[in-house]
Amino acid sequence: MYCFLRLSVLLVGLIASAGSYAVNAVQPLTTADDLGPKVEQPIEFPHDRHAGDAAKGGMQINCMYCHTYARRSIVAGIPPLQKCIGCHQSIESVRETPRIKKLFEYWEAKKAVPWKKVHDLPDFVRFNHERHIQRFVFAQNKPVQEACGYCHGDVKTMTVARRQKPLSMGWCVSCHQKDHPVDATSTKTTHGPNDCWQCHK
Amino acid sequence: MSITNLLENWSDFRQQHPSDDRPHREYKWAMSIDLDSCTGCNACSVACYAENNLPVVGKEKFAHGHSHHWIRIERYWDNDGREFADQGAQFLPMLCQHCESAPCETVCPVGATNHTADGLNSQVYNRCVGSRYCNANCPYKVRYFNWYNYPTIDNVWPEPMNQQLNPDVTVRSKGVMEKCTFCVQRLTVAKSDARTKGRSVLDGEVQTACQQVCPTGAISFGNLVDPEAKVGKQWMKQQVDLNKDKQAKDAAEEAVKLRGYRILEELRTYPSVMYLEQLRESAI
């Protein structure tokens, strides 16, 4: 009887552990399926045309020309409509294309373009764009597109941006745990801050 | 924070005793409250409600002890056998003492409350499962539990009141513990601004909400590591040592005028809040 009990306990334990193993199996952090949802934007903004390589017909505009707040604020913000118009009022060649026509409709109606959020973090997370840009672009002299791409993926090849990375806590930590050089010339390394209150609020 | 990090650097997150071999490197946030200046006006408490999205629970729930005042004014009446107290009430603002060796941290079953590198006692709402063990172990009774779903079911912030919620602070849901954070949302902003400028936070650059509104300036807050900080000078002047559980004041003769003390210091919690004894006599 006891033997039977012991065996059954063992069996239950085995099944339970096998079950939990399946649940805990490590998911690969970035897979092709790990993309975020497709976001319908009011204007299908072609990132590839603006920021893409010249060889592929892009204008190679710096990310921070439009997303200007990223380097000096916690949030990257949305570029104001003036920014678009500032260039496009003197680009006659595309003025009559459907997307630019739509853009100027917003401008004439004095309304902001209702862009949708693509990279949306939960409310309990604090992510500081400024610190990341200051560190990677200004202290370590990394190319802007590479630094932004750590979290946003290769935006210069996309039209409407789509979330490329999981933006989960484990994914953030996978980078914060690594040792990185302090600046471009130094041999000293350090890792990102790792106490809970740095990001959780 | 991953579990590997938590286990590998256990000693950084769970300090048993403050020690000289692992000092605070850049920041150690601390406070001092001058009870002689405190008039018990409750402005600090109101400011805390506004800053930290604290729900106003109403009379009934307050009577059940379900209130959420992260900083509260405790009143003490020294009647001394008479019908009315000679000096009126004495006031003591009580908030999380951010103990260096916090009793709440050691008992949390899920590691939701930790010690940060800046000497703060952190509470991570996402990780909290609501065992309330920390509250039971806190000698100051400054941890508050969300018994109700205030933002939704209780609707504490109906339209358009929700517009006044601070976006830098989470609105806590039912079943989590919460407490004073020393306005960590302000500290984080000040720290990252300072780091972009390539220096540490200067004294006076960051204020807690309670400090900011105190009409008599009874509360001072700052970085104890910074030799220029007002709070550090106050601690020094009162000969209060963060890492000791007995201060010079305890041994001092009558002639030595030391006012600084920390509450329930003998429990070896090593609090980060120093109180300055009341001197003024006879308010009435």
Question: What pLDDT is attached to residue B22?
Answer: 64
User: How many C-beta atoms lie closer than 10 Å to residue A54's C-beta?
Assistant: 8
Considering only CB atoms, B1 lies closest to which of A128, A131, A194, namely: A194
Confirm whether B141 is domain-assigned: yes
DSSP single-letter state for residue A136: I
User: 3-class DSSP state for residue A45?
Assistant: coil
B207 touches chain A (CB under 8 A): no
Amino acid at B174: K
Question: What string of pLDDT tens digits covers the 284 residues of chain B?
Answer: 567 877 777 666 655 555 555 677 789 999 999 999 999 999 999 999 999 999 999 999 999 999 999 999 999 887 777 777 766 788 999 999 999 889 999 899 999 998 888 889 999 999 999 999 999 999 999 999 999 999 999 899 999 999 999 999 999 999 999 999 999 999 999 999 999 998 999 999 999 999 999 999 999 999 999 999 999 999 999 989 888 888 888 776 765 678 899 999 888 889 999 999 888 764 44
Q: What's B266's domain CATH number?
A: 3.30.70.20
Q: What is d(CA B121, CA B100) in angstroms, rounded to the nearest whole number?
A: 8
Partner-chain contact A134 B196, CB within 8 Å: yes
Sequence-ordered strand ranges (E) for chain B: 29-34, 72-77, 89-94, 113-115, 121-123, 143-145, 177-179, 219-223, 260-261, 273-276
Partner-chain contact A201 B189, CB within 8 Å: no
Q: What is d(CA A201, CA A124) in angstroms, rounded to the nearest whole number?
A: 5
Structure tokens at B245: 């559980």
Distance from CA of A139 to the nearest CA of B (A): 10
Q: In this structure, which long-range contacts are made by residues A81-87, counting pairs with CB atoms below 8 Å and at least 24 apart in sequence?
A: A81/A106, A81/A107, A81/A112, A81/A113, A84/A113
Partner-chain contact B185 A196, CB within 8 Å: no
A123 touches chain B (CB under 8 A): yes
Mean pLDDT to the nearest integer, A14-20: 47
Confirm whether B284 is domain-assigned: no
Question: What pLDDT is attached to residue B54?
Answer: 95
Question: What pLDDT is attached to residue A24?
Answer: 47
Summary count for chain B: helices (H), strands (E): 10, 10
**Are B28 and B118 in contact, with CB atoms under 8 Å apart?**
yes
Question: What pLDDT is attached to residue A189?
Answer: 80
Confirm whether B18 is domain-assigned: yes
Q: Complex ipTM, two decimals?
A: 0.80
Partner-chain contact B122 A126, CB within 8 Å: no
What does the angle CA B116 – CA A182 – CA A166 come to, to the nearest 5 degrees? 65
Distance from CA of A189 to the nearest CA of B (A): 17
Question: What pLDDT is attached to residue B17?
Answer: 56
B185 touches chain A (CB under 8 A): yes
- Give B-chain residues touching A75 at CB under 8 angstroms: none
Give the pLDDT band (50/70/90) at residue A190: confident
- Give B-chain residues touching A201 at CB under 8 angstroms: 168-170, 184-185, 188
Residues 98 through 127 of chain B touching chain A, CB cutoff 8 Å = 114, 116-117, 120, 122, 124-127
Partner-chain contact B196 A124, CB within 8 Å: no
pLDDT at A91 over 50: yes
Total structural domains within chain B: 1
Confirm whether B69 is domain-assigned: yes
Partner-chain contact B196 A197, CB within 8 Å: no
Confirm whether B282 is domain-assigned: no
User: 3-class DSSP state for residue A56?
Assistant: helix
With a pLDDT cut of 90, the percent of chain A lying above it is: 47
Which residue, among B1, B108, B178, would best test binding to A if mutated, counting the most A CBs under 10 Å from its CB? B1
**Are B182 and B98 in contact, with CB atoms under 8 Å apart?**
yes
Q: Which carries the bigger pLDDT value, residue A33 or residue A147? A: A147
Confirm whether B281 is domain-assigned: no
How many residue pairs from chains A and B have C-beta atoms closer than 8 A?
A: 59
Cis before B160 (ω within 30): yes
For B84, the domain range is 3-276
Q: What is d(CA B263, CA B271) in angstroms, rounded to the nearest whole number?
A: 8
SS3 content of chain B, % helix, strand, coil (to 5): 25, 15, 60
